[in-house]
């Protein structure tokens, strides 16, 4: 009888603990941001244009001693005034999430093979490479290391590489466990909207900024507006003609719907100015120094 009562008490305590954790996560998702980058980004009165540096920025990686997608590049990105650190998530053979862009690790590290076919220990034994192929002292970073390293410094805009999005619930558990909900935005394709809607309906934690859907039509914008409480959205542009009328009209439409609009554009200075005038607030770029110079 005593054993049965003890079991009931433990079950009751476990339920209360899980409920408290869930409540804390919900409160964190809806709380006023303390991260200064996110706070200004979500401020409805702000007109600031934000720079999302591709893989943290690597234009002078050797001189900066900061390889792309490395822990040391978080501070480097911040010191250069790039508010958002665009990055990439791969999953190892043993289920860890690491910060690498390419499926094959040859370009980025001293190793060979695919990240998805290697263990975390195998990847940690390697060094990151600079763009000129020379070896750096930096190691492959894990997602938890990145989340901790970026706190109060930046907001990550993360791409989940092929096959990783199906593990989104596990990734979000890491994000909340590291109290890093304010520090990351996931850029996700519109075609995977059902996956994230299912996660949401199952009680998964989402802040308004968590999901940035990549869209290419008014219908997709309307659908995201109806199904999600997303504050940001990416308008897919033509690399050849980033400022064609249809694209500018779509940016204006998304902005009028209340979205903070992001684009990936490597255009000329005149293109950037036209996009800003249309309503773009975040630029994902491989040349962040050039964009920063223009924004001064």
- In the chain (296 residues long), the average pLDDT of successive 10-residue segments reads 52 45 50 90 95 97 98 97 98 98 97 98 98 98 98 96 96 97 97 97 96 98 96 94 95 98 90 96 96 93
CA distance linking residue 220 with residue 202, whole number of Å: 23
Residue 168: inside a domain: yes
- Structure confidence at residue 266 (pLDDT): 82
pTM of whole model > 0.95?
A: no
CA distance linking residue 84 with residue 38, whole number of Å: 9
Residue 113: inside a domain: no
Residue 127: inside a domain: no
Helix 193-201 to helix 168-177 angle (10° resolution) is: 60
Residue 2: inside a domain: no
- Structure confidence at residue 3 (pLDDT): 56
Residue 129: inside a domain: no
Instruction: Compute CA distances 21 → 27, 64, 78, whole Å.
Output: 10, 41, 32
Residue 205: inside a domain: yes
CATH number of the domain residue 185 falls in: 3.20.20.190
Residue 184: inside a domain: yes
Measured at the CA of 157, the angle between CA 41 and CA 120, to 5 degrees, comes to 150
- Structure confidence at residue 30 (pLDDT): 56
Domain that holds residue 178: 35-101+141-295
- Structure confidence at residue 9 (pLDDT): 47
Residue 19: inside a domain: no
Whether residue 42 contacts residue 181, with contact meaning beta carbons closer than 8 Å, is answered with: no
Provide the domain count of the chain.
Answer: 1
Whether residue 102 contacts residue 90, with contact meaning beta carbons closer than 8 Å, is answered with: no
């Amino acid at each position: 009888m005593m054993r049965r009562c003890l079991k009931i008490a433990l079950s009751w305590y476990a339920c209360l603990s899980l409920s408290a954790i869930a409540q804390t996560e919900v409160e964190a998702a809806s709380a006023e941001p303390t991260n200064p980058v996110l706070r200004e980004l979500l401020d409805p009165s702000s007109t600031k244009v934000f720079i999302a540096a591709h893989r943290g920025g690597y234009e002078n990686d050797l001189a900066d001693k900061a390889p792309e997608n490395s822990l040391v590049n978080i501070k480097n990105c911040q010191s250069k005034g790039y508010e958002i650190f665009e990055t990439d998530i791969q999953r190892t053979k043993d289920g860890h999430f690491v910060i690498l862009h390419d499926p094959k690790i040859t370009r980025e590290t001293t190793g060979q093979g695919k990240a998805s076919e290697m263990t975390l220990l195998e990847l940690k034994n390697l060094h990151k490479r600079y763009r000129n192929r020379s070896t750096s002292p930096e190691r492959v970073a894990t997602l938890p290391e990145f989340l901790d390293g970026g706190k109060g410094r930046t907001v990550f805009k993360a791409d989940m590489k092929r096959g990783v999005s199906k593990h989104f619930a596990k990734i979000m558990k890491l994000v909340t466990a590291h109290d890093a909900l304010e520090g990351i935005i996931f850029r996700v394709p519109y075609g995977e909207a059902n996956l994230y809607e299912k996660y949401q309906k199952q009680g998964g934690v989402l802040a308004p900024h968590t999901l940035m859907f990549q869209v290419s039509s008014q219908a997709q914008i309307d659908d995201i507006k109806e199904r999600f409480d997303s504050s940001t959205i990416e308008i897919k542009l033509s690399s050849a003609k980033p400022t064609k009328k249809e694209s500018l009209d779509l940016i204006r439409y998304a902005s009028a719907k209340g979205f903070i609009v992001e684009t990936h554009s490597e255009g000329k200075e005149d293109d950037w100015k036209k996009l800003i005038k249309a309503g773009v607030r975040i630029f994902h770029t491989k040349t962040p120094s050039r964009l920063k110079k223009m924004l001064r």
